[in-house]
Structure 1
Amino acid sequence: MKLDLSENEIQRYSRHILLPEVGGTGQVALKNASVLVVGAGGLGAPVALYLAAAGVGRIGLVDDDVVELSNLQRQVLHTTRAVGRKKVDSAHEQLAALNPEIKVEAWDVRLDAQNADGLVGRYDLVCDGCDNFATRYVVNAACVRAGKVLVSAAVQRFEGQLATFSPERGGGCYNCLYPATDGQASGLSCGEAGVFGAVTGVMGTLQATQALKEILGLGHSGVGQLLMWDALRMKFTTMTLSADPACKVCGGGHAHG
């Protein structure tokens, strides 16, 4: 465990350290923390940027895709010169340039049932910003098995959602909110429905904020609550989430698989 901050780190994080709620102790906690970011796209980009800027000591990025020109309208980790490169390589380069004090681990794989437990188990907390339901269910199940907090965000068109899942602390899991048959659900991807680019920036930044709060134990965690944002009406709505006792993933009396 790293107990001290260097002079460079004290200067870099001075605005955090000035906050009584964070201080030097909190900054050291961030330095010792690790977060897995699933997806280096529209949501994963702002999540990773703000976690890196905040000084989270080890950040894992999971994505097997390459940068396409159509990504650049919202995926702010990548530049035009990165088109055709692996997203994790492009992201690693950008994050290292932003903050060389941290460690970035690039996982050029598609997270699936075979590797999810191994990846999730390496980190303290998981931020899921992937763009398909199948991966979301796999990530959720792995987090439940490992007892890891899952901060999940999603965006479609002009709307976004954010929730923090920790069955041990109430509110259930992702599968309680969106039950799926055989671990699958249907829905349009942003490539089919479209997405307003700046909405991913807002939701990804909120996701990073919740992750940092979890690490530091600050404020309301968001566990047991779904935050919804309608950008066209500029309206935030919250609803209470309840655990489903019959959930096949986190419910009592069912196999957690």
Structure 2
Amino acid sequence: MSIVQEYLRYNRQVMLPEIGDSGQEKLKNAKVLVIGAGGLGCPILQYIATAGVGTIGIVDFDKIEIHNLHRQILYTEDQVGFSKATTAKATIEKLNPLISVLAFEEKLTINNASKIIDDFDFVVDGSDNFTTRYLVNDTCVTLKKPLIYGSILGFEGQLAIFNHNGTKNLRDLFPEPPDPKDVPNCSLNGVLGTLPGIIGTMMAHETLKLIMDLPALNNELVLFSTLNWSFTKLKF
């Protein structure tokens, strides 16, 4: 890997005094696992990859469908039916050939979660169901891994960082997952394609800050409505 290539690619962010060469080196050495390569995962993957996170893992067992394309911007119509994880890996590698990308084309379960997550320094949860969210949270608590959390519905999004340097985790905020039949989801209620782009980019932003030891959310939950641009930050 050429030092000149790295300089030319990353110099605009390295110029920031809060980042510099040391911050870029932290990104290069970081290993980040992204759970889900859907609406949130696509922008997360794009921005942490182009920023220079050295090793990125992608977990997703799903296939690309036509209704994904309005918001899952790593994919194109001719890729419908292909694996999200392996397709995202190929696209990300084209965006930044200086990094390493690993694809896990499998469903995250209680049987494989620890094995997959343990190899990474940071976990970003872009999943779309509470079963996976709580599994990821509980595994990160057991393995002492920081977790960047986000969720979306309608025009609203949430963002938090859990289990980082002694901070609280998802169960401290919501001790038990809700009954699935009481939880609305995008397939039934819809979502404007730009919303996961906004929240996913915010999740990527917090991930990069966390890696570089910059100020990040600390026992705080961000509630963001994009319909009327209201922004609330709650301490917990």
For 1:211, which of 184, 195, 207 is the aligned residue? 207
In 2, Cα distance between equivalents of 1:167 and 1:96? 29
TM-score (norm 1): 0.88
Question: Structure 1, unaligned stretches of length 5 or more?
Answer: 242-257
For 1:137, which of 134, 138, 153 is the aligned residue? 134
Where do residues 64-79 of structure 1 align in structure 2 (5 Å cutoff)? 64-79=61-76
Aligned to 2:21: 24
Size of the aligned set, in residue pairs, is: 234
Q: CA deviation at 1:169?
A: 2.5
SS of aligned partner of 2:12: helix
Flag the 1:151–1:185 CA change in 2: closer, same or farther, 3 A. Answer: farther
Could you give the per-residue CA deviations for residues 204-238 of structure 1, whole angstroms, max 9, x where no partner exists?
Answer: 0000000000000112x212000011111111111
**Matched-pair identity in %:** 41
Residue 177 in structure 1 maps to residue 153 in structure 2? no
Aligned to 1:233: 228
Could you give the per-residue CA deviations for residues 11-36 of structure 1, whole angstroms, max 9, x where no partner exists?
Answer: 00010111111111111110000100
Q: CA deviation at 1:189?
A: 2.1
SS of aligned partner of 2:69: helix
Residue 106 in structure 1 maps to residue 103 in structure 2? yes
SS of aligned partner of 2:111: coil
Q: CA deviation at 1:101?
A: 0.3
SS of aligned partner of 1:13: helix
In 1, Cα distance between equivalents of 2:152 and 2:192? 9
Question: Structure 2, unaligned stretches of length 5 or more?
Answer: none
SS of aligned partner of 1:127: strand
Determine if contact 1:134/1:184 at 8 Å carries over to the other structure.
Answer: no
Query: Which ranges of 4 or more aligned residues in structure 1 deviate by more than 4 Å?
Result: none
Aligned residue type for 1:225: E
Aligned residue type for 1:154: S
Could you give the per-residue CA deviations for residues 74-130 of structure 1, whole angstroms, max 9, x where no partner exists?
Answer: 111111111110001110111011000000000001111111111111100000010
Residue 150 in structure 1 maps to residue 147 in structure 2? yes
Determine if contact 1:17/1:24 at 8 Å carries over to the other structure.
Answer: yes
In 2, Cα distance between equivalents of 1:91 and 1:116? 20
Over the aligned positions, Cα root-mean-square deviation in angstroms equals 1.3
In 2, Cα distance between equivalents of 1:185 and 1:151? 23
In 2, Cα distance between equivalents of 1:5 and 1:163? 36
